Amino acid sequence: MARSLLSTNKFIIIFSILWFAWAQIQFITMNYFGFGNTIAIVDSLVLNILLAFACLGIIYIMQFYLPQREKLWYIIAVSLITSVLVIILSQLILKRIFRNEAAYINFLEMAWVVKGSIVFLLAACTSLISLVYYSLEEQKETEQRKHDAEQLTKEAELFNLRQQLQPHFLFNSLNSISALAGNKPEEARKMIQQLSDFLRGTIRKDDTQFITLTDELNHLQLYLDIEKVRFGHRLKTEFKCDAAREHLKIPSLLLQPVVENAIKFGLYDTLDDVLIEIQATYENNILSITVKNPYDSAMHTKQKGTGFGLSSVQRRLYLLFARNDLLFTSANENIFTTTIKIPQ
Amino acid sequence: MIKVILIDDEPLARSIVKEYLLHYPEIEIIQECNDGFEGVKAITQYNPDLIFLDIQMPKINGFEMLELLENPPAIIFTTAFDEYALKAFEAHAVDYLLKPFNKERFDKAMQKCLPELTDRGGVAKENNSTSALLETISHTPPQSQRIVVKLNNKIKIIPFQEIQYIGAEGDYVMIYTAEGNYLKNKTMAFFENTLDPNQFVRTHRSYILNIQLVTRLEAYEKDSHVAILKTGARVPVSKSGYTKLKVVLGI
């Protein structure tokens, strides 16, 4: 939420000075019309205190509700309502206080139009200023969020090159290639191709934030194919994707850490065959992607919640969609499920 | 013949070692293992002269596997990347091969260890560096949250927070958990330094206690106390142990 205008010191000082000056002017004007000090002071105070409350009220409301369209009408309506209320209230109060001062009562009857117009103008000014202020704040915030999101994508790419595309993965893959080169040079060549395509995929995506689901799944497939060369005897994968892949968009490289996590848990938690299931469904404008892997709950008594890889995914989703409810994990005895929702 | 066992969770990684070993007619590969569990079993059964050992493997890693062996054979570590392990290898001058490695590098490692293998006196020296290596490694992050033990040929992984208390048993320590008691060939000092000091307190020369399980402290003889655990176990607390315990418990 935007920083409240009311909480900035500068605003409070300016507002107080203006308010005091305005009350002073009204006091002098009343004096000029020949009313005594008491009447002038009370008249000025009653109207201006009401006015101050009205203005603060307008600013306060604006903090929580910012009109997106029909801004002009909103300002006019708000100012009109407040000025009418302020005038009616002040008239009632002043008439009650000075019910014996016939000259003043008479003056009040005539002055309300002038007073009302001035109050209206001041209320309009206030709402205009707060509208501009809050619009700017909101814009600043959106930009900050956008900037953070871009920054994080960049970091994600670097992270992919340095960490995610862990040295471990890279060197072990190279070792597999080295082993294949001896007896099965064709397969070695194929794996070099896969590894290159995969690396290219991680570098290429620096300017596009969103890619199609097809592209992201193809990239994952490449990664899984390489892992299968290393762990083919244990690793099985299953893609279930009934969604219209071409039209669905997904932040690039978002699934990579999730699947890496799944593979890591699957391969190093258990001794048996590892089945990684990736499922994509599309419903109510939400693309859901579920990744399932076997794991051993006994080996993770300490780590509750999301691991390191997943917390970066969560953060990225928050920066892109401003929502914290898009990633969740569940675990039963031996299957770990990660679900990501991507609003389209 | 020199008996060799290969332990690596990637068949292709084993195949390259096998291929290089073809040039050593005096060497016989008696077993290939996919993980540390198979490794312990095969080593106990065949008592090899040399093992090629990967570090990152399912369930228990290469170092944890070594801890379970009474008399580890000569070892050549093979690993792709592990910053902690590499530091430890350098520090203890242990043979290791960084994947991917070529034939030349492999031969160099073999030439270093073959003479020691034919001359049995060298093996004891090798063992010393192995235990020093394991001591160093067990303080690094991946290892520092759990301990691997063996009881009647069954391997058990104990996360630290499941330890109730630890008692000295000669050269060994006895680890007490809800599921049973396990002997481990490590020192009290090792556990005192490795376990989280906010959860585990050395209350006695021969005891380390998980303070989350303490229900009450009773006076016992002069100057000493006894801690009663939720499980009903009674653990001795010495005078200095009592002072330490009071600090951690905040009483």
The 3-state DSSP class for residue A183 equals helix
Please count the structural domains in chain B: 2
Q: Name which of B11, B20, B16, B15 is nearest B38 in CA terms.
A: B11
Q: Are residues B230 and B126 in the same domain?
A: no
Q: What is the pLDDT of residues B115-162, one digit of tens each?
A: 877 765 444 455 667 777 887 777 776 666 888 998 888 888 898 889
Q: Are residues B184 and B132 in the same domain?
A: no
Dihedral pair phi/psi, residue A306, rounded to 5° = -90, 145
CA distance A177 to chain B (A): 9
Q: Are residues B56 and B177 in the same domain?
A: no
Last residue of a domain, one of B110, B141, B172: B141
- Per the CB < 8 A criterion, the answer to whether A276 and A237 are in contact is yes
Residues of chain B with Cβ-Cβ distance to A177 below 8 Å are 100
| A69 vs B205, residue with greater confidence | B205
Nearest to B13 among A179, A182, A296 (CB): A179
Residue B152, domain member (yes or no): no
Q: What is the pLDDT of residues B15-34, one digit of tens each?
A: 999 999 999 999 999 999 99
- Separation of alpha carbons B66 and A83, rounded Å: 84
Residue B27, domain member (yes or no): yes
Output the CA–CA distances (angstroms, integers) from residue B178 to A299, B164, B202, in the order listed: 16, 7, 20
Identify the DSSP state of A164. I
Q: Inter-chain contact A179–B15, Cβ cutoff 8 Å? A: yes
Residues of chain A with Cβ-Cβ distance to B102 below 8 Å are 178
| Residue A206: per-residue pLDDT | 55
Identify the DSSP state of B185. S
Q: Are residues B70 and B136 in the same domain?
A: yes
Test the A interface: residue of B7, B12, B195 with most A CBs within 10 Å: B12
B77 bridge partner residues: B53, B96
Domains of chain A and any CATH numbers? 5-144 (no CATH), 205-343 (3.30.565.10)
| Residue A306: per-residue pLDDT | 46
Residue B150, domain member (yes or no): no
- Separation of alpha carbons B224 and B227, rounded Å: 10
Nearest to B81 among A167, A269, A271 (CB): A167
Q: Are residues B104 and B177 in the same domain?
A: no
Residues of chain A with Cβ-Cβ distance to B59 below 8 Å are 268-271, 296, 299
| Residue A226: per-residue pLDDT | 93
- Per the CB < 8 A criterion, the answer to whether B26 and B20 are in contact is no
CA distance A234 to chain B (A): 10
Encode chain A (344 residues) as per-residue pLDDT tens digits.
456 777 788 888 988 999 999 889 988 988 888 888 888 888 888 888 998 998 888 888 888 887 777 888 888 898 899 999 999 998 888 888 888 888 888 888 888 888 889 889 988 988 888 888 888 888 898 898 888 888 877 676 656 544 555 778 889 999 999 999 988 999 999 999 999 999 888 776 554 578 888 888 998 999 999 999 999 889 999 988 876 677 888 888 888 888 988 988 888 888 889 999 999 998 888 999 999 999 887 776 544 444 556 877 887 788 778 888 899 888 887 899 999 999 98
Residue B92, domain member (yes or no): yes
CA distance B187 to chain A (A): 24
- Separation of alpha carbons A222 and A51, rounded Å: 68
CA dihedral A80, A84, A87, A88 (to 10 degrees): -170
Q: Inter-chain contact B35–A299, Cβ cutoff 8 Å? A: no
Q: Are residues B104 and B7 in the same domain?
A: yes
pTM above 0.90, yes or no: no
Which run of H or E residues covers position A147? helix A102-159
Residue B122, domain member (yes or no): yes
Output the CA–CA distances (angstroms, integers) from residue B202 to A125, B173, B246, in the order listed: 72, 13, 12
Q: What is the pLDDT of residues B72-87, one digit of tens each?
A: 888 899 998 777 778 7
Q: Are residues B196 and B101 in the same domain?
A: no
CATH number of domain containing B228 = 2.40.50.1020
CA distance B37 to chain A (A): 9
User: Domain residues for B40?
Assistant: 2-141
Residue B149, domain member (yes or no): no
CA distance B217 to chain A (A): 28
How confident is residue B194, by pLDDT bands cut at 50, 70 and 90?
confident
Q: Are residues B135 and B13 in the same domain?
A: yes
Nearest to B16 among A178, A269, A271 (CB): A178
- Separation of alpha carbons A25 and A259, rounded Å: 71
Q: Are residues B22 and B71 in the same domain?
A: yes
Q: Is the dihedral of CA B122, B127, B133, B135 positive or negative?
A: negative
CA distance A249 to chain B (A): 35
Q: Are residues B105 and B195 in the same domain?
A: no
User: What ipTM is given for this predicted complex?
Assistant: 0.82
Q: Inter-chain contact B80–A175, Cβ cutoff 8 Å? A: yes
Q: Which residues contact B100 (CB under 8 A, 6 or more apart)?
A: A171, A174, A175, A177, A178, B16
Residue B113, domain member (yes or no): yes
Residue B101, domain member (yes or no): yes
Inter-chain contacts counted by CB atoms under 8 A, chains A and B: 76
Q: Are residues B41 and B113 in the same domain?
A: yes
Residues of chain B with Cβ-Cβ distance to A183 below 8 Å are 15, 19
| B235 vs B249, residue with greater confidence | B235
Q: Are residues B124 and B181 in the same domain?
A: no
Q: Which two tokens stand for residue A2?
A: 């935007």
Beta strands across the sheet bearing B224-229: B214-220, B224-229, B234-237
Last residue of a domain, one of B88, B106, B141: B141
Nearest to B100 among A174, A183, A233 (CB): A174
Nearest to B100 among A166, A168, A175 (CB): A175
Residues of chain B with Cβ-Cβ distance to A179 below 8 Å are 12-13, 15-16, 19
Residues of chain B with Cβ-Cβ distance to A181 below 8 Å are none
- Mean pLDDT, chain B, as a whole number? 87
- Separation of alpha carbons A238 and B107, rounded Å: 42
Nearest to A172 among B58, B80, B161 (CB): B80
Output the CA–CA distances (angstroms, integers) from residue B33 to B15, B61, B66, in the order listed: 12, 13, 14
CATH number of domain containing B36 = 3.40.50.2300
Give the chain B residue whose CA is nearest to the CA of A229: B12
| Residue A177: per-residue pLDDT | 95
CA distance A171 to chain B (A): 5
| Residue A305: per-residue pLDDT | 44
Test the B interface: residue of A164, A174, A176 with most B CBs within 10 Å: A176
Residues of chain A with Cβ-Cβ distance to B58 below 8 Å are 267-271
Q: Inter-chain contact B19–A182, Cβ cutoff 8 Å? A: yes
